[in-house]
Structure 1
Amino acid sequence: MAIHQNRSFVCFFYCRCVPTDMSLDSADSNIVVYTAIFGDYDVLIDPEVIESGVDYVCFTDDERLTSDVWEIRNVTPMTDSALSNRRIKILTHEYLEEYDISVYIDGNIQILERVEPLVEDYLSTADFALYKHPKRTSVFEEGESCIEQNKAEAGPVCEQLKHYRDAGFPDDRDLSENRILFRRHQNPEIKDVMWSWWREVSERASRDQLSLMFVLWKHDLEYNLIPHSVRDAPQFAIHPHRPDGYLGSIWPYWMSIRTDPDPGLLKNTGFYFERSLSVLKNEGFLALLSKSTSLLVRTLATQIKEIGDRLGVIGPDQIYSDEYYAKRRQDPFRSESHEIADALVERFQPSSVIDYGCAIGTYLERFEEHGVTINGVEGNSAAFRHAVVPNDRLEQHDLRQPYEPDDYYDLVLSVEVAEHIPERYARTFVNTLAKSGEVVVLTAAPPGQGGTHHVNEKPPEYWIQLFDDHGMEYDRETTDELKEEIVVDSLYHVPENIMVFKKTDL
């Protein structure tokens, strides 16, 4: 896409400081929305609303990437893909000299509404604006979280935070969320701040959220901190990052379904065929030929497992291995399970919880830390060898069979288990959950998600009807709120698939 110098806006925001009243009416001001995608980390997503006065620019190392909306600018990456992104994210004035105002967005952000009104509003009194972090309130909390989730090495982070404390940086300074940045990046003060920020990111821990607020404080730069997170901004949507392996190879097609849904393409029967078409379109015939075995094997494997279930030769012990459960002890799986449990504790304030299909008990581990009485039910014996809670809190049971709970719980939890229960046992499974407590929180893989032994992927309406048959009503309001409150990366299926059910007499 050609750059038009007389445009008011451009994506990959690049701006020059507008004098006096900072309005956008000046003839020499223009706007860009931009992003930077390196190393197949994200899939480029077109905006739902394309503004005639805005340019859209994507920096990438992928020479195959094309777009009818975004101007693709190929650049040679640094050794570290994350640093390649952050350099362009931070040093906008080095890469977008032809623009005055810039809006940076992460590669997994989609624009849903016009951005020009946001620029008018957020840059009306300052040359830099950004959103507030959705969960943490200080750089020091962020540092602890990075260490806990293995997002950065503990040594450099601790050294960096000590340096900030020694410099007098206050503990109560708000924390920003750096997914989206609004800037008049040609302002000399902004340039100085961005260079300082880049030095922090390139010379210390590379997590940019650790250093930005310190740099703004050090330079005493005036900025607008938007009083909510990006997730609460109706103008944007956050999509999952591109996964590794084969699923990553068909992620562009999957994202096209997410952003422009066609329910017919999500039916189990045609899903693998549609994925084949995607590989053919995006990578060519030879790539399809080399991957066709995987496509056929995965379809055939699901059918074989369904037959095995019917013959009674496949049970819980045949689904996941010791290696699988050993991995679940590590971050980010464990730490993100804790974050999800934190959200459920804050929402429901339970005194007791039972988790059906609890695996090694990472959710229960966090509930117990909150003082909640816990019990878990799991069918695979390998999980008990890697459990993170005492085995006397767990019971082995095949959830295809009826189960009588020994108590009535404040909260009943089952995370990504329902899709493993063959359909003929689904009512038995739901009956177990429904008679165990007042509130059930269920996540269940929908058609097309795919996964090991997913023999019963159903849309939410299927489970809503089953729970209704067992005297439990779908709580849409609480479900929608939890989808927003739970912010995780690796376990993104949990907020996507979550459903809350309550007894109809509550």
Structure 2
Amino acid sequence: EVPVPEPADLELLKELVGPTGAWRSWSSQLHHHDPGLAHALGAFIQYQKPKKVIDMGCGSGFYVRAMRARGIDCDGFDGHQDTESLTDGLCYHADFADVELPKKICLEGYDWCICLEVFEHVPKHLEDQLVDCLLAGAGKGLVLSVATPGQGGLGHVNEQPHEYVISRLEERGLILDANSHLRLRQYCQLPWFRENLLVFRRPAEKSSASPA
């Protein structure tokens, strides 16, 4: 995620961002990663004792590697066509425009879903599909980061207030776990994660933030 203004050159923007919001070409070199978040998120997810985790919009697989380093069974996919080669086979390519994707995700039986700074890249007409995918991967909970209006960034086409995102997910049955995301934010080094990180749970899940 790179919080910079949109390129003035529309041809460059078309080269780097596809019609479904997925990055392409050499945009893979522009990902920023947060080691503090990776450590805290790994500890948090490990504490939940999940059987399986999915990172949607995983980029270069940085957070998938952080999960696996703790022995967590974690998959990751990204819209970049070269995801498999860019991650040395760790992650795979998938696109939110695939109408079968929510069903495919649901069949995997994931407990926790991670989706960091992806929502704002997905065009409004695919937002329902994205939400379906998030719900399909959040058997027990969801860690989400969404850019708010005015943040700016490469390919940001659907920045939304957190109140809007929270409402969308709560109406689908998730519950905001503010205690957990406020604690996780303390470990974030990149400003957009300190501002945008949210944690949701299924109703049966009690809040259980872990020591990081």
Matching of residue 470 in structure 1 with residue 169 in structure 2: no
Structure 2 distance, partners of 1:435, 1:333, is 25
Structure 1 distance, partners of 2:95, 2:199, is 23
Normalising by structure 1, we get a TM-score of 0.35
Matching of residue 492 in structure 1 with residue 194 in structure 2: no
Matched-pair contact (CA < 8 Å) for 1:474–1:502: yes
Residue in structure 1 matching 2:28, options 325, 342, 345:
325
Matched-pair contact (CA < 8 Å) for 1:351–1:371: no
Structure 1 distance, partners of 2:144, 2:93, is 20
Letter in 2 for 1:416: E
Q: Which residue of 1 aligns with 2:19?
A: 314
Q: Mark the CA change 1:444 to 1:358 in structure 2 (over 3 Å): closer, same or farther.
A: same
Structure 2 distance, partners of 1:320, 1:340, is 29
Q: Which residue of 2 aligns with 1:479?
A: 181
Query: What whole-Å deviation, never above 9, does each CA across 1:477-506 have from its counterpart, x for those lacking one?
Result: 22222222x232xx3312320111111343
Larger Rg: 1
Structure 1, unaligned stretches of length 5 or more? 1-245, 248-293
Residue in structure 1 matching 2:112, options 411, 414, 422:
411
Letter in 2 for 1:342: G
Q: Mark the CA change 1:412 to 1:456 in structure 2 (over 3 Å): closer, same or farther.
A: same
State the Cα distance separating 1:345 from its structure 2 match. Answer: 3.2
Residue in structure 2 matching 1:448, options 132, 150, 154:
150
Q: Mark the CA change 1:327 to 1:337 in structure 2 (over 3 Å): closer, same or farther.
A: farther
Residue in structure 2 matching 1:379, options 75, 79, 82:
79
Matched-pair contact (CA < 8 Å) for 1:356–1:413: yes
Q: Which residue of 1 aligns with 2:63?
A: 363
Letter in 1 for 2:202: K
State the Cα distance separating 1:382 from its structure 2 match. Answer: 2.9
Letter in 2 for 1:372: I
Q: Which residue of 2 aligns with 1:421?
A: 122
State the Cα distance separating 1:296 from its structure 2 match. Answer: 9.7
Structure 2 distance, partners of 1:336, 1:459, is 24
Q: Mark the CA change 1:295 to 1:427 in structure 2 (over 3 Å): closer, same or farther.
A: closer
Query: What whole-Å deviation, never above 9, does each CA across 1:49-104 have from its counterpart, x for those lacking one?
Result: xxxxxxxxxxxxxxxxxxxxxxxxxxxxxxxxxxxxxxxxxxxxxxxxxxxxxxxx
Q: Which residue of 2 aligns with 1:348?
A: 48
Report sequence identity in percent: 25
Letter in 2 for 1:493: W
Query: SS of the residue aligned with 2:158?
Result: coil
Q: Which residue of 1 aligns with 2:131?
A: 430
Query: SS of the residue aligned with 1:414?
Result: strand
Matched-pair contact (CA < 8 Å) for 1:350–1:372: yes
Query: SS of the residue aligned with 1:477?
Result: helix
State the Cα distance separating 1:440 from its structure 2 match. Answer: 0.5
Q: Mark the CA change 1:325 to 1:502 in structure 2 (over 3 Å): closer, same or farther.
A: same
1:26-175 → structure 2 map (5 Å cutoff): none
State the Cα distance separating 1:412 from its structure 2 match. Answer: 0.5
Matched-pair contact (CA < 8 Å) for 2:20–2:123: no
Q: Mark the CA change 1:447 to 1:353 in structure 2 (over 3 Å): closer, same or farther.
A: same
Q: Mark the CA change 1:476 to 1:295 in structure 2 (over 3 Å): closer, same or farther.
A: closer
Matched-pair contact (CA < 8 Å) for 2:21–2:123: no
Q: Which residue of 2 aligns with 1:56?
A: none
State the Cα distance separating 1:458 from its structure 2 match. Answer: 0.3
Query: SS of the residue aligned with 1:445?
Result: coil
Matching of residue 400 in structure 1 with residue 103 in structure 2: no
Normalising by structure 2, we get a TM-score of 0.78
Q: Which range moved further: 364-373 or 496-505? A: 496-505
**Aligned pair count?**
194
